[in-house]
Amino acid sequence: MMLTAAPLPRRTFLRGLGAGMALPLLDSMGPTLAFSNASRLAPPPIRLGYVYTPNGIVGCSSKSPRPFMWTPRRVGANVEFSPTMKPLEPYRGDLVVFSGLAQANGRALGDGPGDHARATATFLTGVHPYKTGGADFRLGVSADQIAAKALGAETPLASLELGLEQPPLAGNCDSGYTCAYMAMSWRSETSPLPAETNPRLVFERLFGDDETTDAAIRRERLANQRSVLDYVSGSLARLQRRVGVGDRRKLDEYLESVRDVERRIQVTEHSSRLGEVPTIDRPSAVPDDYLEYSRLMMDLQVLAWQTDMTRIVSFTMGRDGSNRAYREIGISDGHHAISHHQGDAERLDKLMKIDELHVGLFAYLLEKLRTTPDGDGTLLDHSVTVFGSSLSESNLHTHDELPIVLAGSAGGRIRGNRHLAYAKETPLNNLFLNMFDAANVAGVAAFGDSTGRLSEL
């Protein structure tokens, strides 16, 4: 029995001065028998994604003045995509739409106003936040961090928390609730994990060399606008001589993606410096254009999964209660202000345009996942991502009939192209139990106010 040359380890890095790059899954990373195709790589890991959209979505509540703008009219197979969900139609085979789910602990429960803070805080924890504006905040461990604790030892980063809007890290953010509750991810009941909003810092976490702590090296690389690829060129040349034609093609595609993301960050940094306004304290590398910013951060998520730097990513598209203006699509009013539409047709039209924008950006992420090879399939095949909010109609501050979509088949475990309707008040946390199972996160019998796994999924 003759074996081929020793395979590359799955955790192979290209290294250079002040830089380190993990690699995507290559054919060379595993044993193959010279005389047989029977021996295969271990199946690719399942990744878990959690994407939050702020201020609810028009048309997911039966009380909405425009019902069915989100929720499909027909239940079962062959999803009939609603107007707001239209951007997701090309991915119908990988999508499950849910109705009837609730996050009951987002309600006041005697604590008065503060639904936006409670919406973010409860989305992944299922726990009612202790109302305080001080440092004595208390919540619970979030679903992504339960998964990170189970799977994080297998990757350089246990999890990655990304966001497009950084709230204050202290003080009162919503009706007596501390800004700590604007974090979606919680490592413990007293340890929120704020999202990283600066793409340069995310890039450095993924491609900086953990073994090098010399800040001067990083400054030199930024000052000279040199690519991380320049620093690992020697290691890359040796690797390309070692792998086959198919792997060289995969490497070329991956490296081009890295180069493109880095170039866009550098262009943004350069533009930020040239157009710097002294009265605005704005971090570098955060694009002014929301669409480019969103896509850049999503591309970084894809790279993190492609290289198996982490398998758990949470992503907040905006802060709940945010008054961001979406001038890219002609809306100068604040999002939160128009979300309290009171049935006004003009406000509803604007709000639906914002909803469609967020859904379209999620579709962008799905397209990147669908076109990124991973083992014998794609990243979309080997992941499962929930998209939605724990606020349904922002005008009513309701936390039932939530807008929830699941994307990805988790390696064939989840069948798409379905609209599953559950009894009202079915806990959203039941779905998170199904997601744990899909990613082989064992031993989680209950979560939040869960009543069991969702049937039919």
Q: What is the pLDDT of residues 186-207, one digit of tens each?
A: 999 999 999 999 998 898 888 7
pLDDT value of residue 227? 65
pLDDT value of residue 1? 35
pLDDT value of residue 51? 99
Residue 216's pLDDT band, with cuts at 50, 70 and 90, is: low
Identify the three-state secondary structure at position 213: coil
Give 404's contacts (C-beta < 8 A, 6+ positions apart): 97, 98, 101, 386, 387, 388, 428, 431
Range with the lowest mean pLDDT among 1-5, 87-91, 169-173? 1-5
**Are 7 and 32 contacting, i.e. CB atoms less than 8 angstroms apart?**
yes
Residue extents of the structural domains in the chain: 48-189+303-457, 198-285
Average of per-residue pLDDT across 124-145: 96
Q: Report d(CA 399, CA 123) in Å as an integer.
A: 10
Residue 307's pLDDT band, with cuts at 50, 70 and 90, is: confident
- Counting every residue written for the chain, the total comes to 457
pLDDT value of residue 275? 40
User: How much is the mean pLDDT over the chain?
Assistant: 85
Q: What is the pLDDT of residues 318-333, one digit of tens each?
A: 999 999 999 999 999 9
pLDDT value of residue 25? 72
pLDDT value of residue 238? 75
**Are 141 and 314 contacting, i.e. CB atoms less than 8 angstroms apart?**
no
* Exposure class string for 314-345: b at 16+ Cβ within 10 A, else e: bbbbbbbbbebebeeeebebebbebbebeeee
Q: What is the pLDDT of residues 334-357, one digit of tens each?
A: 999 999 998 999 999 999 999 999
Helix (H) or strand (E) holding 94: none
**Are 392 and 398 contacting, i.e. CB atoms less than 8 angstroms apart?**
yes
The more confidently predicted of residues 337 and 279 is: 337
Beta bridge pairs of residue 315: 51, 162
**Are 119 and 391 contacting, i.e. CB atoms less than 8 angstroms apart?**
yes
**Are 82 and 71 contacting, i.e. CB atoms less than 8 angstroms apart?**
yes
Share of the chain above pLDDT 90, in %: 64
Average of per-residue pLDDT across 400-415: 97
pLDDT value of residue 301? 96
Q: What is the DSSP letter of 252?
A: H
**Are 306 and 288 contacting, i.e. CB atoms less than 8 angstroms apart?**
no
Pairing of strands 95-102, 331-334: unpaired
Pairing of strands 95-102, 404-407: antiparallel
pLDDT value of residue 4? 44
Say if pTM beats, i.e. exceeds, 0.75.
yes
pLDDT value of residue 36? 35
pLDDT value of residue 396? 87
Tokens of 278: 């002294």
pLDDT value of residue 87? 98
Quote the Cα angle for 385-388-393, to 5°: 170
Residue range 48-189+303-457, CATH number: 3.40.720
Q: Report d(CA 360, CA 419) in Å as an integer.
A: 19
**pLDDT tops 50 at residue 134:** yes
pLDDT value of residue 282? 34
Residue among 107, 54, 12 nearest 427 (CA): 107
Share of the chain above pLDDT 70, in %: 81
Q: Dihedrals φ, ψ of 438, to 5°?
A: -65, -30
Tokens of 90: 């090309």
Average of per-residue pLDDT across 428-444: 98
Residue 278's pLDDT band, with cuts at 50, 70 and 90, is: very low
**pLDDT tops 60 at residue 381:** yes
Q: What is the DSSP letter of 33?
A: B
